Structure 1
Amino acid sequence: MNRYQLEQMKDGVKEQLKIENENLAKMYLDSKTTIETRQEQQKIVKDLDERFEGIKNQIKEIDDKEAKEMALKNKNKNLGNSEKDIRINAKAELIRNVMAGKAATKEVRNVLGDGASLNDGDKILPRTVANELLYEPMAKNPLRGISEMTNITNLEIPKIIFSLDDDDFLDSDSATAKELEADGASVTFGRNKFKVFCDITETVLKGTNTNLVQVVDAGLESGLAKKEKKVVFESTNPTDMSFYNKSGESGNPYLIKTIEGSDMYEAIINALADLEDDYSENANIVMKKADYFNMIRTLANGNTTLYTAQPEQILGAPVVFCDLAKIPVIGDFRYSHFNYDLEMFYDRAKDVKTGIESFVLTAYFDHKIKMKSAFRLAVVKSVTP
């Protein structure tokens, strides 16, 4: 069992432990409960507590093992002369030059992959640095693990990822065929400009190269990921980049088809069942962790087994947690596509009130839902009083 699965199991046991502790506290307040029932509840709490600690220890063992392997790797290499260290030093010099208002040297650009063709005054972020920001794993935007990700100027692609010599194979009544007929068979990506500000204190700027690069990289990665996640799940003022974009039609509030159920579980199962076969085979469920555990609490009805089961075993498709997914999105996320257009530019800015300076990144990106018919929104049916 890998670390991710253990973390999911730990969260499930933690939630159940919280519930059983609350039940035990209520028993102490209830004069009708007996010593036997309280002792039985104490055993349940003790069992869950032991499970929680056991899973925590397993995760710690994995982390300790990885830490030892990393320490051994660092010990065995000539620090400061490795390719990684040379790149860190070059990135640190680039950052310090930007914050001092100086141009990056050709030597730094050479190390970071730009070559010597660019002018010294150019503020384009070196290509390899930009690629690291875009393609390195980011926990803060969970869609990065399941959606498409590219960095291509003026990108235009076909909506469906397969083609035949004719389209007669498509059922004319299917949602896919109707969408292709209505909206065309290709999608063109636009350019939406935004800035990311990474605050840098003087102590960090004057500190070690490794720490400076880590602070800036983490700040920029977090900013990019938060922006991506925000526009994709924007519900108040959604754009065509959002899964929650509105249709403006009465009785059909969203452009993506909504599927109802009497509760969250039924809505998700119904949404999975409603997907066409080509989409359901690769379907994922993106939902809030709080909604998932509320659903499990209802399904479990006192049974702790569901809390330790993998979400895929319960719902029939992998689950990806996202705190902004107010309505669960179910579908084939290969048809969710992020594209960064043009080059990324860097600059600096200063907050005159606080004196804190920022490393500023300007980027252009777009998110397209290539096929709306590849997705469903799982909505709990409102009960009429």
Structure 2
Amino acid sequence: MTVTLYQKKQSLAEIGAELKNVNNEIAEKAGNPAIEDEVLNQLSQKADSLSSRFDLLKNQIDSEEKASKKKMQQKQNNAKPDDPKVRQTSAMASLIRSTMANQSVSPDVLQALGDDNTTTGGQNILPINVSNQIIAEPFDDNPLRQDETISAITNLILPRVAYSIDDDGFVGDQQVSKEINTKGDQVSFGRFKTKLKAAVSETILNGTDTALVQYIQGALQAALALKEKKVAFATTPAAGEEHMSFYSTETNIKKVTGSSLFDAITQAAGDINDAFQSNIKVYMRRPDYLTMIKELSNSSATLFGKAPEEIIGYPVRFSEKAVTPVVGNFSYAQLNYEIDSTLYEQWKDYDKGINYFGLTAWFDHQVLLASAFRLATVVSK
């Protein structure tokens, strides 16, 4: 059976700990005249044996790591030096492998990834370009990213209403005006930590640079999308995250009831101020939508082939987290990340025997104007 480098390092640590214990025991018993020489000789022989094993195993590990570094360097040298994308992929792969091996990251690698921090050497800060790829690039797993604003600005403060006109009826609207008076005319984004983990096997770690980077970024993006949906549609938000959810009492989005789901959604959309109407979307669960269509069609299949906007008048985004349909202009909600604070790390789940590449990110989700949204609820019969 092949012994992995990680297993060898574990064995080396165990031998080192045992050698330390034996040497301590020798030092303790050597000063006691009552201890027989035979006991000390046995301990000395054991220490010599452990020391020999330690040296043999350490030489193997050093040799293997040297060969691995040489192989990695050859891969980097074989990459097209004039292709920025290839250089960045190779550098990202080097960063991941170094992190997983608890080794320092080469300054050349950090520079290729866009980290020019000479004070910290980039050892604790994920380079901005890498964070931007993981955090800022849109992906399909979170439909909110199609409609909300995604930003990456440290200590972000925004005006609650982006424009105003003298004698403006929109800002003077009763609901909008009341909300601004209650919440203030500015929105301050906070810092809320989330930890994402990508499980990494040795076959992936030792594979090609492209496959490794795609796997890590894909896993972290999927985890990030799940976290974003979870906080935005949380029915019972975590302490301190109440303001992030469309459903929380702190956000205070108006509920509109109807005798059926179709009635509730259409009335909710109609209840929203005209200034928000141009970009209204409906977020709801797919099973709820299909049940609604079934009720409207009265067992006929004619409605199932139609687009949602042909039936309810507005586009529909499906999310399994949207247990109560949220109707509104989602450009008045924003997700902000602090990319400069993003950390990366490595750790092992010893119970499961899995190694992880981890990303710690700070973000905040804010509903800029609750007046732009409605919750569609069905009245109990």
Hey, what does 1:233 align to over in structure 2? 233
In structure 2, the CA distance between the partners of 1:92 and 1:306, relative to structure 1 (3 Å rule), is: same
Are the equivalent residues in 2 in contact too, given 1:106–1:116 (CA < 8 A)? Answer: no
The equivalences for 1:38-53 within 5 A come to none
2:255 to 258, 269, 273: 258
Q: Relative to 1, partners in 2 of residues 1:176 and 1:99: Cα closer, same or farther, differing over 3 Å?
A: same
**Cα offset for 1:193?**
0.9
Give 1:356 shift: 1.3
Unaligned runs of 5+ residues in structure 1 are 1-77, 248-253
Stretch moving more, 361-370 or 229-238: 229-238
**Among candidates 328, 335, 358, match of residue 331 of structure 1:** 328
Match for residue 35 of structure 1? none
Instruction: Point out where structure 2 has 5 or more consecutive residues left out of the alignment.
Output: 1-77
Tell me the number of residue pairs that the alignment of Structure 1 and Structure 2 aligns. Answer: 299
Residue in 2 that maps onto 1:365: 363
Q: Sort the Cα spacing of 1:83 and 1:284 in 2 relative to 1 into closer, same or farther, 3 A.
A: same
Which segment drifts farther, 103-112 or 368-377? 103-112
Given the alignment, which residue of 265, 269, 276 partners 1:268? 265
The alignment status of 1:141 with 2:142, answered yes or no, reads yes
Where does residue 34 of structure 2 map in the other structure? none
Q: Deviations over 1:116-141 (max 9, x none)?
A: 63543522111111111122222221
- Name the structure 1 match of 2:93: 92
- 1:252-275 Cα shifts (integer Å, max 9, x gaps): xx7110001111111000001000
Q: 1:141 to 1:180 in 2, by over 3 A?
A: same
Conserved? CA contact 2:192–2:364, under 8 Å: yes
1:170, distance to aligned residue in structure 2 (A): 4.5
Amino acid at match of 1:96: R
Partners of 2:164 and 2:231 in 1: how far apart? 30
Deviation at 1:337, TM superposition (A): 0.6
What letter corresponds to residue 135 of structure 2 in structure 1? L
2:214 alignment partner in structure 1: 214
- How far, CA to CA, are the matches of 2:350 and 2:318 in structure 1? 39
Deviations 1:296-326 (A, max 9, x none): 1111123222111111111111111111000
Check 1:291–1:115 CA distance in 2 against 1; reply closer, same or farther (3 A cut).
Answer: same
CA contact (8 A) 1:263 1:380 kept: yes
Distance in 2 (CA, whole Å) between partners of 1:153 and 1:311 is 38
Cα 1:193–1:371, aligned 2, differ >3 Å: closer, same or farther? same
Q: For 1:87 and 1:274, how far apart are their aligned partners in 2?
A: 50
TM normalised by structure 1 equals 0.74
Shift in CA distance, 260/123, structure 1 to aligned 2, threshold 3 Å: same
> Percent identity of the aligned residues?
40
SS state of the match for residue 96, structure 2? Answer: helix
Amino acid at match of 1:268: I
Q: Which residue of 2 aligns with 1:293?
A: 290
* Residue number among 376, 382, 385 corresponding to 2:374 in the alignment: 376
2:312 is the alignment partner of 1:315: yes
Give 1:80 shift: 4.5
Distance 1:118 1:314, change over 3 A: farther
Partner of 1:243: 246
Q: Which amino acid aligns with 2:197?
A: F
The 1-side partners of 2:153 and 2:320 are apart by 29
Distance in 1 (CA, whole Å) between partners of 2:356 and 2:217 is 13
Q: Does the residue aligned with 1:307 lie in a helix, a strand or coil?
A: coil
SS at match of 1:243: coil
| Deviation of 1:231 (Å) | 0.7
1:117 paired with 2:114, answer no
Asked whether the equivalents of residues 93 and 212 of structure 2 are also in contact (C-alpha less than 8 Å), the reply is: yes
**Retained in 1: the 8 A contact 2:348–2:354?**
yes
Aligned match of 1:282 in 270, 279, 282?
279
Corresponding letter in the other structure for 2:236: T
Q: What is the CA–CA distance in structure 2 between the aligned matches of 1:278 and 1:170, rounded to whole Å? A: 7
1:346 aligned residue: 344
Amino acid at match of 2:367: I
Partners of 2:255 and 2:110 in 1: CA distance: 50
Report if the CA contact (8 A) 2:164-2:171 is conserved: no
Taking structure 1 as reference, are residues 112 and 118 closer, same or farther at Cα in structure 2, changes over 3 Å only?
A: farther
Instruction: Identify the residue that residue 24 of structure 1 maps to in structure 2.
Output: none
For 1:255 and 1:244, how far apart are their aligned partners in 2? 8
* Counterpart in the other structure of 1:200: 200
Which range is displaced more, 202-211 or 263-272?
A: 202-211
What do residues 120-177 of structure 1 show as CA deviations (whole Å, max 9, x unaligned)? 352211111111112222222110110011111111000112123x466457552001
Alpha-carbon RMSD across the aligned residues, in angstroms, is 1.9
Residue 184 of structure 1: aligned partner: 184
Distance between the aligned counterparts of 2:119 and 2:310, measured in 1?
53
